[in-house]
Chains A and B, each alone.
Chain A
């Protein structure tokens, strides 16, 4: 079992997300993370799904996804040269001046931004791969995380290649 990253180009129609999500759950896969947004093509969206499965299982899911009428392209980019990012917003306790200073130091090391400062909390914004965000979260736990919001992973191929320009697999 391995985390696979699927980049799915879909027609921007009502219900398309539930078609995609439903297919995963129907075939017994948990979606690890999901990100949806408009993309470079008009009336299209790109969905990035991270799901665990062996290569054969993921291949089967890919074929099933391809059968959905609203889905234009499905690419498994797990083994292709890509960069991936997630975004997290973390609200941390910062009651004392000392902890506040430490948190700001940690933020600098992680190239996180402080985007809100309250009397008793600060909010950090961080982007990076999952491991980086996990590491930051672990460090901040010491101060008390009041709330953590994390997006699904998004990814893009390196260099000239695009997911769109690939032939349908």
Chain B
């Protein structure tokens, strides 16, 4: 005889789950009772949104499925933003929610919410389990769905009676999940691959446009190998950073709205584009008609719905990035180097580097550069959303995949701090920094309680401009400097940290930056750095919304 909660925890253990981020409540009491003496560790967060972001950070840092747990009603609803965040960035998480007993479903019972209905558009799949017998199979399926094909979040809603029901002979989970309606394609079509190679060999000005799919599929090595063998410059999306080392001679850095000028120039002039694990998002393409206007496009993605969605592909290849790139590698040896193209790119790189006004005052770009230098481009860098995110993306020299965790698709302020907590548990030996904004940090600032409680050595570097900086930047540029509701009063973050028993330091000048960062790196536990940066520093270059990506402001043309 087993209870549903029993079966749940056993099933999670069988999936290799070692940690759950959660928050208890009435409907999940039976599950918490099981956790009391389970070998699975549970981290008590201070908000359910933080629990799902932590599970997400754990998943992005490790490549394994992250798991979170919340009670019914308000607990489940608090997960929604985090589920949507994971959905937009294709992150494998399994969210488990409590639910009112099946007999009360649909009655507006206390703390009932239709969480499967609410999360329908933001989950890859979800389940309302009505029979404890099905539980083992559902858990198996949920993990399988989350982690195969295009990864994504799966929610399992468990009515209280399903958790307490005694089951005599629980139906065991199948060894192999087979779903008629879900059969992801991993291997690319051979003839399409042949066509892609042919176009590639004919190209004079080729480029690789790499995204989060490369990281998700673990294809970075193959990508770099193709780039090196065929001398293809690589530009990556925000989600793809780390797929090629930042200082690799073929790396062009990030493209798009806040991309490098040379990446955007190269995309605009290329005659061939190998698009891998990307979705031609509007923040990348700017005006679609002028994005890579001369290029023959080969688009590799595991999700057929992404191919041709925004930009038609000349050669669509549905498949897993790693598998397809390997198949390509197996068929190509070398290519006559199109040296004029690479020379042109090198000239762009030389004449249009990322730059900022390094005059008086504390510049956020300088802080990121110093951190990058101190950590030698290692560690795990998590960001919040806004200017802080873009500066981190532009100025940190990433070397590896799964080193950069950021909410790209949804752009969720408050993501970074809890995700950093999850990242720490995924890779406890790494330095984990949350590059934060003062606005974003205050969206999940309560997690100071969590890092203090468990002495989690996450370092928070607040680029404090006392503004909702990115919004203010748009108001400065496009709304005549009318700073409508974007100014934030000064907050003494160090004192707040201290109130939780956490070390902190305020930094106001350039000279203090390195020692302060070093102090954070050396700290045993969590550490808060409050950098008082130039308040009206902007993120440049910038492609105004709807413009062509080679029409940047704040670049070198002006």
CB <8 Å contact, B125 and A69: yes
Given contacts A60-B305, A64-B305, A67-B303, contact A15 B116 (CB under 8 A): yes
Q: Please give, as numbers and ranges, the residues of chain A lying within 8 Å of B308 by CB-CB distance.
A: 59
CB <8 Å contact, A69 and B179: yes
- Nearest residue, chain B, Cβ from A19: B120
Q: A122 near B: Cβ within 8 Å?
A: no
Name B's interface SS: mixed
Q: A66 near B: Cβ within 8 Å?
A: yes
CB <8 Å contact, A69 and B181: yes
How far apart are A76's CB and chain B's nearest CB, in angstroms? 15
Q: Please give, as numbers and ranges, the residues of chain A lying within 8 Å of B305 by CB-CB distance.
A: 60, 63-64, 66-67
CB <8 Å contact, B128 and A22: no
CB <8 Å contact, B128 and A15: yes
Beta-carbon contacts under 8 Å, B88-130 to A: 116-117, 120-121, 124-125, 128
B interface footprint on A47-78 (CB within 8 Å = 1, 0 otherwise): 00000000000011001101111111000000
Docked complex Cα distance between A60 and B303 (Å): 12
Q: A142 near B: Cβ within 8 Å?
A: no
CB <8 Å contact, B145 and A69: yes
Q: B331 near A: Cβ within 8 Å?
A: no
CB <8 Å contact, A22 and B120: yes
Point out the residue from A11, A59, A60, A67 that lies within 8 Å of B180, measured CB to CB: A11
Given contacts A66-B304, A69-B125, A69-B145, contact A18 B117 (CB under 8 A): yes
Docked complex Cα distance between A71 and B124 (Å): 13
CB <8 Å contact, B181 and A60: no
Q: Name the interface size band of chain B.
A: 10 to 19
Docked complex Cα distance between A137 and B538 (Å): 65
Docked complex Cα distance between A144 and B460 (Å): 74
Q: B36 near A: Cβ within 8 Å?
A: no
Point out the residue from A22, A63, A68 that lies within 8 Å of B181, measured CB to CB: A68
Q: B309 near A: Cβ within 8 Å?
A: yes
Docked complex Cα distance between A68 and B120 (Å): 10
Q: Please give, as numbers and ranges, the residues of chain A lying within 8 Å of B304 by CB-CB distance.
A: 63, 66
Q: A26 near B: Cβ within 8 Å?
A: yes
Q: B182 near A: Cβ within 8 Å?
A: yes
Beta-carbon contacts under 8 Å, A10-57 to B: 10-11, 14-15, 18-19, 22, 26
15 contacts between A and B (CB under 8 A): A14-B128, A15-B120, A18-B117, A19-B120, A60-B309, A63-B304, A63-B305, A66-B304, A67-B303, A67-B305, A69-B125, A69-B145, A70-B181, A71-B181, A72-B180
Binding site for B on A (CB under 8 A): 10-11, 14-15, 18-19, 22, 26, 59-60, 63-64, 66-72
Binding site for A on B (CB under 8 A): 116-117, 120-121, 124-125, 128, 145, 179-182, 303-305, 308-309
Given A26-B121, A64-B305; 16 other pairs, CB 8 A cutoff: A15-B116, A15-B117, A15-B128, A18-B117, A19-B120, A22-B121, A60-B305, A60-B309, A63-B304, A63-B305, A68-B181, A69-B145, A69-B181, A69-B182, A71-B181, A72-B181
